[in-house]
Each structure stands twice: as structure tokens, then as C-alpha cells.
Chain A
Amino acid sequence: MSAKPKDGQHGANVRFHQIGRRLPRTDAPGKVTGKTKYAGDYSMPRMLYAKVLRSPKASATLTRIDVSKARAMPGVACVLTAADLPHRVMPNDIPGQTGKDRLKTDNQILVKERVRYQGEPLALVAAESLSIAEQAIQLIEYELEPFPGVFDPFEALKPGAPIVQGEDNVVATHQVRKGDIRSGFQAADVIVENTYKTQFIEHAFLEPEAGLAWIDENDVVNIRMSTQVIEHFRFIADALGVPHNKVRIMGAMVGGGFGGKEDITIEVYLALLTKNTGRPVQMIYTREDSMFGHGKRHPFDIRLRTGLTNEGKITAVQAEITADAGAYVYLSPYVLLYSVTAIQGPYQVDNVHVDARAVATNNMYTSAFRGFGAAQACIAYEQQMDEAAKRLGIDSVELRRRNFLQTGDSIATGYKVDSAVWTEQCMDKAIKGLGDRPADEGPIKIGRGVACYQQSYGRITWLHDTSEAWVGIEVDGTVVVRSGVTDIGAGQTSALAQIAAELLGVHLDDVKVYHSDSAVTPLAGTTTATRALYMTGNAVKQAGEAVRDRLVRRAAHALSVDEEIIVLSDHRAYDVNDPDNGIELADLVALCASEGIHRSELVIFKAPFTDPIDRDTGQGRVHPDYVYGAHAIEVSVDTETGEVTILKSVAAHDVGQAINPQAVEGQIEGGTAQGHGYALTEDLIYKDGILVTPSFSEYLIPTSMDVPMQVDSIILESRSGRGPFGAKGIGEPSLTPVAPAIANAVADAIGSRILDFPITPEKVVRALHHIA
């Protein structure tokens, strides 16, 4: 048993006390008993209730808005339109830590003149009751003149198309020029070309956006908020025209995010209304508000051309990627970048040529969603592998095996991966986990598919990402962690507690994590980009180690032994060779306290800092590191009705080091269900920019009757990641391979491929030529 937990590459004989154990999470009891409060569960005396008036049209000019009747209604405290906010904008760029200039992508908070998407806010109302606010909304009079709109990115690129953003609707471009694409294709014996199309997806977190804002006696605007990012306080301050240190965001436990609570949603509305009225203001979105209230997953059109030799070696990958950015830029440039970085797949390819653009339309704006462009890329490249295998007459698993990227190989942007790349092991284990293949029965055909992936963890390296954490131990031996991290349900805070418990020799229950307060908890950065464990876990680990080192030094002195043989475990510090020679942790801490030995530490952890990649070649480093894995699926397809049932689902991911395997499984199982919906049942349908699937009756996420009873989660631990104890991440990786694996399984079952998502029963029937 090692005295000190080791991290890094060598981990075969590491023994942990807390890390790696399936402990019930710290946040579980509050959630299952209903004690945990979410942002909409708080109220204050004299609180006002706020509602948003939204444009029913997708593309229009607001020629008139008259709020006089609404303002005059008894019980209405405040009505705001753009006229009341003359120079204010809503920042929608990526929040950064370094204070560097953001892209100039800000949009109007309330419509001044031009409506660019259905649901764009026209006015805000705050009133004494929700009912009065709703009635006041009805009293606002306005006129919208139709304005020519465009609803398809390819249409938006045509000369003469209505302009939604910029000069030509192109809001972002990226390109990759790796190697020599011409010679790459010349070396190919076959060229496989397909265009894969994906759809708008809704996050469908169960908790609609909610918050409560108030202005206190120090003129601080406080916002209790359901958000993935408390760092938005800076943007909110800018939008209000107040100093940054006078806006405080207190994140509540978040009822689901998935990227949909990554941008600013209602914070600015709450801040404006509370500043204007001087009273607390609560805003809770209905589900319908939520459909219009945050950016969706980008639909992608990926034209992929792959050159391979007859032996199955990929010689060239060429991609034309077009993403629908919707009405405003938001995080489109970054989503596009991720897709470009990922499009080579977890394969070794010397020649890669990518042209990618994000195009504005009058559809709902699109932004962050778990996978962030790399998921869409995987849908293309993993289906392409199966198509290539079919074309070459090589088994699709074998084809992958002949091409896997290895440690030291370069990805599409030329960056050489230096952590473990265990894709092949993951693939083999996932497929093996499917077991024996059942026989077809009548019209019911069985199909199997696998998908492998590369998904980044950690944010773009030229954002100079950092995360701070404070760890301290109290004189009674209990532990405090202070971190700005937002907990969006994956166990972000519990993982930090588990790390602190490991390092300081206590149990999970002995650690209290105070989190998500932009004024008093050290800022951890966003809970996005599969970065929370990597960044904040490392910060907590380093802070915990600093405290631990001081405790161990003092204990060694007290016990007259060397530091290297001191173990902190079970509330004691003791000699690993002579456990009876020890001191109670509380006594040790009290000793340290009385001697002025620092019982806490504040750490800033820094991700690798780079400069942006080359604009022309797309070469350079984009991310700190990558996760690799695979997912295998078995389906049955009723070839008469087209219904697809998932029979078996096996995931295998190298997460580096699982902090809590049960939590890792939870992410895998949840990602599997989201991938299921992505491939088969979910579709946000806009007809000329009008949403025709505005509720959970039309937008169908999988139910308990749709998913298989179990998902096998095979967790591999290479301990080669940059996170604490060699961890990588699982938040986004757990979703990325699922939809393409399902698509591959369906194609296997029916013998042909449906190239546009979702794969509905009707599309299956059409692909089988049962109907015209």
C-alpha cells in the first residue's frame, strides 16, 4: 500500500482510499428527499414576477411597440423595451478568464427594430403576481412587418439572400490543410463520398431556466441562478453599465445543462428588472419559453470524401462542413472549430483538407450542446468508416483496426496526442460485450454497429483556461472546499469532495463543498467542455496536497518518523509500518492551528496556454488532450413498420481514472439515452423559422419504455490524462459515439443507410422501398 496516492503514467499498483469507490454522492440525499433547492425555489419578500414578450415571427421589422396599457395596469411594476435600454447589448461570446478582448458578437437585449428569430424578446414585464405579469404581456401592443428571411444555410449563402448577420451571413470559417490532399487521393484506390445531415436538437433539461435577482444595500446586483457559468457576472455588469465587482452570481444546483445553460439566458433580464424596480425579481421560464430561450445544437451538413487503399488504409480525408448558426453568432465559431478538429476521427491520416463555415439564418440561434461539433463530426466519420468497409469488402471492425491513431500520431490540426489512445481496446471490449447475435425473425432484422471517437476535454488552449480552488481543514478535522464550480448534475461537487477526502484522510461525508458564488468562492471557470474534473479537480488536488504536506510534516515531527511513511486515512495520521503510532487528525489540525501552520491553501491551476492555430492551415494545438473510446449497439428493426428497438448497448471509454465509477456509469448511461434520441426520435422542426415542435409532446426524448434495461459501461483507466490522478473526462465523450453506432446498427440491419438524422420509422420504410 503506497503512503501517498501517485498520479500519472505508472499507476498499476495505486491504492486509493476514496478515489475509485462507488460512493453515494454528497448531493444525493438532498435531491431524493426534495430538500435541495433549485434557482426557482427561492423567494423573497416583495418579490416581483417577470415574463418575456416574444416575437411570434421569425423575420420581421418591429415598426411599433406600445407598452402604455401594460405599464398602467395595477400591479405592474416595470415594463422594459429596447427604448429603455439605449446602448445596452447582450454579450454572447465565450466567457474568458484573461480579460482579453472578446469577439464583437453581442446582440440586442430586446428587439430594437429587427427580429431575427421566432421568440426573440420584445419586452420584459415585472409585476406583483405571475398572473398580472401574464395579463400585462397581453396588453402590450406591437406591429411586426414581415422582413424577408432565410431558413437554410445554403440558401443563405446564395448571392441576393436576405442578410441576417455580417455581410454575407458567414459568421465563422475554419480550414485545415494538413499534408497534401491531392497526393492523398492519388494514393487512394477507392474514394468514398457521402453527405451526412444532422438536425436541430433541444437540450430538454428538466429544469427550465430560472432565477431570482435582488439589489442589496451595497448596490450589488445579486442573482440566484441556474447556470453553468457564474463568470457571466462580468458580462452582466457590462450590460448594466455597473462595475464588475458589483454583480454577484450565486449558482444553485442546476437541473440539467448540457450546454444549454452555458450562454447567458435570463440573467440580464433579471438584473435589469431588479435595478429598475429596486425589488427582488423572479423569472422562471415555461417549457415553451425554454424552447425559445437558449441556443440549440447546430444542424450540420458534412460532405465527407475519404480515400482508402484496397487494403483499407485511409490516405485522404476531405470535408466540407456547413453549420446552421441560426440568428446570432453565439458559440458557432467554436462549435465549428471542434468539428474541424475532430473530423479525422480517432484515425491516423496524413492528408486532411477541411473547409468549414457557420452560416446565419432566421432559424433559432444555435450554440453549445454536449459534444459541441465533435459529436456531429463523429456522426459523419463513423458512418463513413462503415460505408468504406462495405465498399472495400473489409469487415468494418477490421477496417478501423487498420487505421487507429496511436499515441504520438497527429490529429487533423497536426497536434500529436501524448496521452494513451486506447481506442482499439475500447472497441474490442465494447463489441465483445454484445455477446451472441440473435437470429432475425420474420420481418424483424437484427443489426449491429460500433462507433469509435475522439473527444476533447478541457477548453480551447488559446483561451488560457484556469481554475482556482481553496481547500482547508477545520480544527475538528472536517474539510471545506471552496470552488466556483457549478454543479449541473454529473457530480461535479461530489467529485471534488472525494478528491479532498482522499488527500486529507477523511470520508466523503466529512467534506463540505461551498460552491458557485462569484463573490466568495474562487472562480473555477465554466462547467462545460468536459473540463470541470480536469481543471477544478486538479486545483482541488493541488490545494489539498499543499495542506496535506503541511499536516504530514507536522505529524512526522510529532511521531518522530520520516514524512514519506505517514498515511492520512480514517481521520488519523499514522506510520504506515506501525499503525498504532499515530495521532488523531483533529488533534493534529488543532496542533497546526495553534502553531500558525496554514490549514488551507488557494491554488490556481492552469491548462496549457497556446496561441491560436494558423488561420490558413488550421495547424496547431487546440485542446489540452483527448478522450478515446467506443460504443457498440445491437438493434432490431421491424422492416414493415420501420420501428427501431435498441436491444443491447455496450460502452467502453478510457476515462484515465474514475473518481467515482458509479458517477461515470451514470454519465455513460445518460449520454447513451441522449445519443438514442439524437439518432432516432429527437427533431426540432422549424418551418420557415417557426418551431412546430414546441413541447415535449412533439419533441420526443427517450422514455423508460424506449431504452434498454441496462447499458454495459466498461471503464478503462489508462491514468494517462491531465486531470487529477491521471483522469481525462466523460461528460461529452459518453454521448459522442452513440448516435453513429445506432446509425451503423440500423444500416447493418436493413442493408442501406439513411443519411439524415433522425432515423425515423418512416425513413426506414422508405429506405427499404416499401413506400415511394
Chain B
Amino acid sequence: MYPNFELVVPTTLSDALAELSGDTNTVTPMAGGTNLMIDMRAGLTSPEKIVSLSSVADFGQIAHRDGRVEIGGRTTISDILYANDMRVLAPSLHESAKVFAGQMVRNTATVAGNVCSGSPAADTVPPLLTLDAVLTLSSTSGEREVPLSDFYTGYKQDVRKSDELISKIHWKELPDNTANSFYKLGLRKGDAITIVGVAVLLTINGGVCQKARIAFNSVAPVVKRAIGAEAILAGQTLSVELIDKAAQHAVSESSPIDDLRASATYRRHCTGVLVRRLLNQAWQAIAK
């Protein structure tokens, strides 16, 4: 039930980019393929040529130097989960890896692929947004950097051109007095599609919030930050009431729908609950 397509398996990034620079209407890159394979089987997409990235050399490295953390275009969810450093370098991303699908999918699926999927439920994206992650998009014409917060332009739409690949994702090391976490609400605890996912980051010094990031998935057509809620906290002295206010505002920045799994009403309710809870927990974690 899969469509017929040509399959190429390049072994270098430049070969992969060259393959993608042909007739771009019908060529698609495949990293882990955990979304693409399912979509093809369901008849939702029929590429004529697939460029597998599974054998591209040196494409999955994790590097940490000079205050900068960088992962590659083929870094898998398992790479994140099993890298002990990631508990400290990207706590929310590490937490999302734990609840991301199952082991086999994690061993295959890439962070870059999850970002590119454009799914409103993509679990790595809220964490990456809280980390102010920056994407490096490569093509045969060169490289450009795009902050993740500028990447999505609409439901399943982003600024990646069809001949581009995400070759790196990087973010800065977290400063002291920072807490960063992610919670995934699903209808079961393992291997579930997210109903509401929330990631927060707080940097607090002397009781004052220096930086706040709040991001959520599955409650809007795109994964996004609650910028208005962040602004309520930034530069302020934290309190339970202020966090409540930010949480309420975050709810107003969400636009969930009713679907098979949950109603919009329930999703809004849980967005408020989880934003409030995670912010309070982050605040307490720093205070300790």
C-alpha cells in the first residue's frame, strides 16, 4: 500500500543536498521516517523520490563547547534521552524524549524531523522553543540560521525550502538559576499523542524573573510560545498571583480544538493548570 518511489541513500551531506536540489515537487527527504512512512501507508502523501538521510555521515553529532549546545540533523530522540549531559543542557528536551513514543521510534526519529513535521503535537518543539533554539538550514547554496520561533508560518507551514535540510540545531547553555521542564498530558502515559504539552523556562535572580519562556503543543495550529504570558513574568518579582495571571494569559493565547481525544474546553483548562503548575515548580526548584 506504499506508493512507488525511487529511493536514494546518500552517504554525505553534500550528496544529500544535491539530490534534493533536483525537481523539488516530488522529492522528499526522510530522516527517521517515522511520520513519513505512516503518512505514505495511509495514502496521505506520494513522493516520487525519497532521499534517505539514514546513512549521511557525521550528521548526528552532539557537541557542547563555548557555551553552545549543538545537535545534528540526524540526532535521534534516543540520542537526547541517553546523553546524560542533556539532563542539564536541555532539561525540558530530555523530559520530552522520555515520553516521546516508544523506544524503537525514539531510536529512529530525529529531533530535526520532529521539528519539520509541522505537527501541532510535536513534542520536541515546546522544549526547543523554551531554549531559544536556532536552526541551521543547509542547501547546495549554503547555510542560513533561523530561530525556531520564526520557523513556523502556519498550520504545517514553515520557512524551510524544499531543497533545504535542518543540519544543526543549537542553543545556548542555560545560565545559573534556571529551571526548564516539560509535561505531556495524554490519554495514557506511554506512547500517546499529546493532548496538551507545556514547556517552561525560568531564570530567576533575587526573586526577580530575568527570563521566562512558556511554550505549548497540541493547543493551537502550530506549536508556539505564549509570548504575552512570558511578558507578564519578565522582569517582575514572582508570586503565586503573578504566575496565576500568566497562566490565565497563556490560556488566552491558545486556540485548541475539539477532537477525538479531548474537547477544546478541557484543553484550555489543562493548559492553565499545567502552565501554572510548571511555573510554580520551576520557581520552587530555583529557590532551593
Contacts and interface: CB of A to CB of B under 8 A. Distances in A.
B and A form one assembly: yes
Contacts of A134: 1
A697 B260 CA distance: 12
Contacts of B193: 697
A681 interface: yes
B262 interface: yes
A703 B188 contact: yes
A640 interface: yes
Interface of A: 134, 640-643, 645, 680-681, 685, 692-693, 697-698, 700, 702-706, 760-762, 765-766, 770-772
A427 B189 CA distance: 29
B185 A772 contact: no
Given A134-B1, A770-B269, A706 B188 contact: yes
Contacts of A702: 188
Contacts of A680: 188
B190 A761 contact: no
Contact of A700 (B188, B265, B273): B188
B187 A761 contact: yes
Given A681-B187, A705-B191, A706-B190, 14 more contacts: A642-B266, A697-B193, A703-B190, A705-B190, A706-B189, A760-B187, A761-B187, A762-B266, A765-B266, A765-B270, A770-B269, A771-B265, A771-B266, A772-B265
A771 B189 CA distance: 23
Contacts of A761: 185, 187, 266
Interface string B77-116: 0000000000000000000000000100000000000000
B189 A692 contact: no
Contact of B189 (A685, A705, A772): A705
Q: Which 7 A-B pairs have the closest CB atoms?
A: A703-B190, A705-B190, A705-B189, A762-B266, A640-B273, A700-B188, A771-B269
Nearest to B270: A641
A762 B262 contact: yes
A643 B185 contact: yes
Interface string B262-274: 1101100110011
B277 interface: yes
Contacts of B190: 703-706
B208 interface: no
A642 B192 CA distance: 16
Given A765-B269, A771-B269, A693 B260 contact: yes
Contacts of B260: 685, 692-693, 698
B150 to A, nearest CB: 31
A766 B185 CA distance: 17
Nearest to B192: A700
Contacts of B265: 771-772
A463 to B, nearest CB: 39
The interface centre, meaning the residue of B102, B187, B193 with most chain A CB atoms within 10 A of its CB, is B187
Contacts of B266: 642, 761-762, 765-766, 771
Contacts of B187: 681, 700, 760-761
Contacts of A705: 188-191
Interface in B11-41: none
A730 B1 CA distance: 41
15 contacts: A640-B277, A641-B274, A681-B187, A692-B260, A697-B193, A700-B187, A700-B192, A703-B191, A706-B190, A761-B187, A762-B262, A762-B266, A765-B269, A771-B269, A772-B265
Contacts of A766: 266
A693 B265 CA distance: 21
Contacts of A700: 187-188, 192
Contacts of B274: 641
A641 B193 CA distance: 16
Given A641-B270, A698-B260, A762-B262, A703 B189 contact: yes
A636 to B, nearest CB: 12
Interface in B249-283: 260, 262-263, 265-266, 269-270, 273-274, 277
A752 B191 CA distance: 30
A767 to B, nearest CB: 12
Contacts of A765: 266, 269-270
A762 B263 contact: yes
A681 B195 CA distance: 14
B250 to A, nearest CB: 15
Contacts of A703: 102, 188-191
B82 to A, nearest CB: 18
Interface in B190-237: 190-193
A486 to B, nearest CB: 31
Contacts of B270: 640-641, 765
